[in-house]
């Protein structure tokens, strides 16, 4: 394959939004390095599956190294892996804390640092993180302080890195979803979860995929937190 064909790393790639992103980037002729704990090898020569715990620095190093060995370059990174634990603040456990910071923060930090080093060498690249709209618009009845603490940190670092890398050719953005129909949410909960959005329904995987692809092609957009949340971020309703 030509070394000029672009390559994207996608974390949390085995199901839901991650699997949708893998297919969407392949449809755009990107090579894909897909990683998650449970990902299986792909029959598609343009997809390299790397299994591992993204919270661990050795996983991040291996994902980037194997991607470079296979495809020769890293052009984009989608930080899709994440966990969301909702419960009253005083009921969070050390295990909850470790899981949320491990996946959401360490999982972002190690892979983004490793991938950015390669992008800076090229003088071009794009980083997108999937956060959550509840960071900017908390809801009564949905206590999620660890999501605000960790995903809110990703929103903040998105803007910080966008400025740090602004003249380097590397753009940094985020997509902040509402509640999306993924395997995380049983079908019987969809009606109730839909009421948590002003438009009265949950989002679809394609809504988030299309937002990421928009940012991928938007060369004049960096430091953006793009809310794809059925109006949640607009205010109380």
Q: Which pLDDT tens digit goes with each residue over 26-74?
A: 999 999 999 999 999 999 999 999 999 999 999 999 999 999 999 999 9
* Contacts (Cβ under 8 Å, ≥6 apart) of 167: none
Of 156, 174, 177, 150, nearest to 222 (Cα)?
174
25 within 8 A of 42, measured Cβ to Cβ: no
The single-letter DSSP state of residue 180 is B
Domains and CATH numbers, the chain: 7-231 (3.40.50.720)
Give per-residue pLDDT as tens, 87-139: 999 999 999 999 999 999 999 999 999 999 999 999 999 999 999 999 999 98
């Amino acid at each position: 394959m030509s070394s000029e064909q672009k390559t994207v790393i996608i974390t949390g790639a085995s199901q839901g939004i991650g699997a949708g992103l893998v297919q969407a980037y392949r449809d755009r002729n990107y090579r894909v390095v897909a990683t998650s704990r449970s990902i299986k090898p792909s029959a598609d020569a343009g997809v390299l599956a790397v299994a591992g715990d993204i919270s661990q620095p050795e996983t991040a190093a291996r994902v980037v190294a194997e991607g470079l060995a296979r495809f020769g370059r890293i052009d984009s990174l989608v930080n899709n892996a994440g966990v969301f634990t909702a419960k009253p603040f005083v009921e969070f456990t050390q295990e909850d804390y470790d899981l949320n910071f491990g996946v959401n923060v360490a999982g972002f930090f190690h892979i983004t640092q490793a991938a950015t080093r390669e992008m800076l060498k090229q003088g071009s690249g794009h980083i997108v993180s999937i956060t959550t709209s509840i960071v900017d618009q908390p809801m009564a009845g949905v206590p999620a302080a660890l999501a605000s603490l960790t995903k809110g940190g990703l929103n903040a670092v998105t803007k910080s890195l966008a400025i740090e890398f602004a003249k380097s050719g590397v753009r940094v953005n985020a997509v902040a979803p509402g509640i999306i129909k993924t395997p995380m949410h049983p079908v019987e909960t969809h009606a109730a979860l839909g009421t948590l959005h002003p438009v009265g329904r949950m989002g679809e995987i394609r809504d988030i995929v299309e937002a990421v692809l928009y940012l991928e092609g938007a060369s004049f957009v960096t430091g953006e937190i793009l809310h794809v949340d059925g109006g949640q971020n607009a205010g109380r309703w």
